[in-house]
């Protein structure tokens, strides 16, 4: 009977797909800021090529609008469009006091980040996993009183280009996985964004930086192997946005709001302009239509919307932090306020449907197919993919696992589904075992009863059995 029960347990668990003696899967999410989808086309990138051969590649992925650093990174962490997670800009601002904080200082404004949406670190930790983050936007904040278990925020004036620091940080993160048994880590590199801004996306300096990124990708995979993580670590590498060349030096008619007839900054209570190709305006009471009408159609490469009239595909309307008038320029143009103060040769922040705004995507590890190219998808879908591999129940999000499921190995999807789903399947499996054992027990007792009846009938002793005992036996 014991061996029968053991077989039943094995059978039930195999039917339910419960992971038996399998190591749990880990995920490393890496962002190389500003790595455009085609940056590997004019540079030899052997390590990125090998990663694609050993794993999965998408031709490109589409970030959310607004295509700037903090908002798009928070989408990676939450699976929510920017209007839903509320980190609508790199800069914290106050429309009453007119105060603005730059990118780095905004990292430490807790209420800017903690406004109702939980990043994957917190969700994972609440479901029994361990999570960490290194330099990723949003790392410095707490969320509903919780922070990433292991975290490191880069210091002020950090040198994002230092390749030696890149390698040291890589080994540090791999140590987190191995020595502290972390399940998820997000890791951020500030290049090639800085180089693309300063020198332009078509510059030799940008190409050299892509070579450095490629060397680092090779180092990351080597470090994972040295730390004996390759059999359970899944590495996802992507970016927040792309980059495009800015037109200047008399090549085009620049967009300068102060030069537009009928427009005056005195009609505004607050504005966010001079930060690339996008802007937002808060007109004074009663001045919205005047400001809107003055700007609408004033420049052929300037797009002006009341925020509620933005095309739905932008998902950049339903949030009180978004100001009433939204501006964005065509690729190559930036929006100046009183006079030009921007001198970058490369910029982002344009319409997310523009090809130059789209980043790259690679993934490798035991959860992923090998040598597979998948169709392009939105970066909002990376969050449910990571939750699935980790075996955790995602928070409410705007992504869909169906957008990425084809890149996953079927047996691994079953093996790593863990978390709440595993518990559910475990109970189901136990119920199956109990039911099967009941059937076996009933069949065994019935067989024994019939055997005894035949035996007593042959010996003529059936009539001597007490009625109570016979009833007791047959009651089973």
- Percent of the chain whose predicted confidence (pLDDT) is above 70: 82
pLDDT of residue 443: 56
CA distance 191 to 102: 18
**Average pLDDT of the chain, as a whole number:** 87
Sign of the four-CA dihedral 421, 422, 424, 428: positive
CA 50 – CA 336 distance, rounded (Å): 43
Residue in the block written with tokens 């009846």: 453
Residue 410: predicted pLDDT: 74
Residue 249: its pLDDT value, please?
A: 81
Q: Are residues 347 and 199 in contact, defined by beta-carbon separation less than 8 angstroms? A: no
| pLDDT tens, position by position, 219-272 | 999 999 999 999 999 999 999 999 999 998 888 999 999 999 999 999 999 999
Work out the average pLDDT over 78-104: 98
On the question of pLDDT at 2 being above 80, the answer is no
How far is the C-alpha of 104 from the C-alpha of 155, rounded, in Å? 9
Quote helix, strand, coil % in the chain, to nearest 5: 40, 15, 40
Nearest CA among 183, 204, 154 for reference residue 33:
154
Percent pLDDT > 90 in the chain is 80
Q: Quick one: average pLDDT of 169-176?
A: 98
442 pLDDT higher than 60:
no
What average pLDDT does range 126-136 have in this prediction?
98
Nearest to 28 by CA among 128, 161, 171: 171
Residue 417 has pLDDT above 70, yes or no: no
Q: How far apart are CA 204 and CA 190, in angstroms?
A: 18
CATH of 255-343, one of 3.30.70.20, 3.30.1360.180, 3.10.129.10, 3.90.105.10: 3.30.1360.180
Name the strand (E) or helix (H) holding 29: strand 26-32
Q: Which residue in the block uniquely carries the two structure tokens 């932090």? A: 321
Q: CA 193 to CA 178: how far, in whole Å?
A: 30
* Sequence ranges of the domains in the chain: 1-19+422-476, 23-245+352-417, 255-343
DSSP bridge partners of 280: 272, 326
Report the candidate in 282, 280, 257 with the shortest Cα–Cα distance to residue 269.
282
pLDDT of residue 428: 47
How confident is residue 451, by pLDDT bands cut at 50, 70 and 90? Answer: low
Burial of 470 (0-12, 13-18, 19+ CB in 10 A): middle
Q: Which tokens in the block code for residue 302?
A: 């300037």
C-alpha separations of 394 from 122, 390, 452 in Å: 11, 10, 58
Q: Which of 67, 69, 244, 404 is catalytic?
A: 69
* DSSP conformation class of 351: -
DSSP state at residue 311: -
The CA distance from 355 to 112, in Å, is 30
Q: Would you say residue 135 has pLDDT above 80?
A: yes
Q: Output the six-digit token pair for 91.
A: 């800069």
Tell me the pLDDT tens digit for each residue of 319-371.
999 999 999 999 999 999 999 999 999 999 999 999 999 999 999 999 999 99
At 208, is the pLDDT very low, low, confident or very high (cuts 50, 70, 90)?
Answer: very high
Residue 53 pLDDT: 98
In degrees and rounded to multiples of 5, residue 198 shows phi and psi of -75, -40
346 near 243, Cβ under 8 Å?
Answer: yes
Q: At what angle do helices 419-459 and 467-474 cross, to 10 degrees?
A: 150
Is the model's pLDDT at 426 over the cut of 90? no
Residue 447 pLDDT:
55
Tell me what pLDDT residue 468 has: 37
pLDDT at 394 over 60: yes
Tens digits of per-residue pLDDT, 176-189?
A: 999 999 999 999 99
Residue keyed to tokens 């079927």: 410
Mean pLDDT of 194-215: 98
Residue among 398, 371, 392 at smallest CA distance from 55: 371
Mean pLDDT, to the nearest integer, of 451-471? 42
Q: Which CATH class is domain 23-245+352-417?
A: alpha beta
20-70 tens-digit pLDDT = 335 799 999 999 999 999 999 999 999 999 999 999 999 999 999 999 999
Half-sphere exposure of 161 (CA within 13 A, CB side): 12
C-alpha 385/C-alpha 220 separation (Å) is 21
Q: Which residues contact 223 (CB under 8 A, 6 or more apart)?
A: 167, 170, 171, 174
Phi, psi of 343 (to 5 degrees): -130, 10
Instruction: Answer yes or no: are the C-beta atoms of 270 and 95 closer than 8 Å.
Output: yes
How far apart are alpha carbons 237 and 227 in whole angstroms?
A: 19
69 is catalytic: yes
pLDDT at position 419 over 60: no
Question: Is pLDDT of 452 > 70?
Answer: no
The pLDDT assigned to 294 comes to 98
Asked if residue 60 lies in contact with residue 361, where contact means CB atoms within 8 angstroms, the answer is yes
Residue 382 pLDDT level (bands cut at 50, 70, 90): very high
DSSP state of 335: E
Order across the sheet with 302-306: list the strands.
268-272, 278-283, 325-329, 302-306
Structure token digits, residue 359: 């980043």
**Is the N-terminal amide bond of 192 cis, ω within 30° of 0?**
yes
100/97 Cα distance (integer angstroms): 9
Q: How many residues does the chain have?
A: 476
**Nearest Cα to 363, choosing from 376, 354, 372, 350?**
372
Band (473; pLDDT cuts 50, 70, 90): very low
């Amino acid at each position: 009977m014991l061996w029968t029960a053991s077989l039943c347990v094995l059978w039930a668990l195999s039917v339910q797909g419960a992971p038996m003696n399998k190591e749990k899967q880990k995920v490393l999410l890496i962002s190389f800021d500003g790595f455009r989808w085609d940056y590997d086309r004019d540079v030899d990138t052997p390590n990125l090529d090998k990663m694609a051969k050993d794993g999965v590649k998408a031709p490109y992925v589409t970030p959310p609008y607004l295509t700037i650093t903090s908002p798009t990174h928070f989408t990676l962490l939450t699976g929510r469009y920017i209007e839903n997670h509320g980190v609508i800009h790199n800069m914290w601002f106050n429309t009453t006091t007119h105060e603005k904080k730059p990118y780095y200082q905004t990292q430490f404004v807790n209420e800017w980040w903690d406004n109702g949406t939980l990043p994957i670190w917190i969700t994972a930790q609440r479901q029994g996993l361990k999570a960490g983050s290194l330099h990723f936007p949003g790392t410095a904040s707490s969320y509903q009183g919780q922070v990433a278990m292991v975290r490191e925020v880069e210091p002020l004036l950090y040198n994002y280009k230092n390749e030696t620091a890149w390698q040291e940080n890589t080994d540090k993160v791999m140590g987190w996985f191995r020595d502290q048994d972390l399940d998820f880590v997000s890791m951020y590199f500030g290049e090639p964004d800085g180089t693309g801004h300063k020198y332009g996306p078509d510059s030799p300096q940008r190409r050299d930086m892509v070579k450095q990124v490629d060397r680092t990708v090779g180092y990351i995979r080597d470090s994972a192997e040295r730390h004996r993580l390759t059999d359970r670590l899944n590495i996802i590498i992507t970016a927040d946005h792309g980059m495009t060349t800015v037109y200047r030096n008399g090549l085009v008619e620049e967009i300068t709001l102060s030069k537009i007839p009928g427009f005056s900054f005195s009609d505004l209570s607050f504005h966010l302009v001079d930060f690339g190709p996008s802007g937002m305006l808060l007109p004074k009471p009663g001045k919205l239509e005047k400001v809107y009408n003055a700007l609408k159609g004033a420049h052929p490469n300037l797009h002006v919307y009341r925020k509620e009239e933005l095309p739905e595909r932008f998902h950049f309307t339903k949030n009180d932090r978004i100001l009433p008038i939204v501006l964005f320029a065509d690729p190559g143009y930036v929006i100046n306020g009183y006079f030009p103060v921007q001198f970058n040769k490369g910029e982002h922040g344009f319409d997310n449907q523009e090809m130059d705004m789209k980043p790259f995507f690679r993934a490798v590890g035991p959860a992923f197919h090998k040598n597979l190219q998948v169709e392009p998808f939105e970066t909002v879908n990376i969050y449910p993919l990571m939750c699935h591999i980790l075996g955790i129940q995602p928070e409410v999000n705007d992504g869909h696992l169906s957008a990425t499921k084809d890149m996953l190995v079927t047996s691994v999807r079953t093996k790593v589904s863990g978390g709440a789903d595993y518990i559910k399947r475990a109970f189901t499996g136990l119920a199956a075992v109990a039911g099967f054992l009941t059937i076996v027990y009933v069949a065994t007792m019935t067989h024994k009863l019939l055997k005894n009846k035949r035996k007593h009938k042959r010996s003529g002793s059936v009539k001597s059995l007490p009625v109570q005992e016979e009833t007791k036996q047959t009651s089973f």
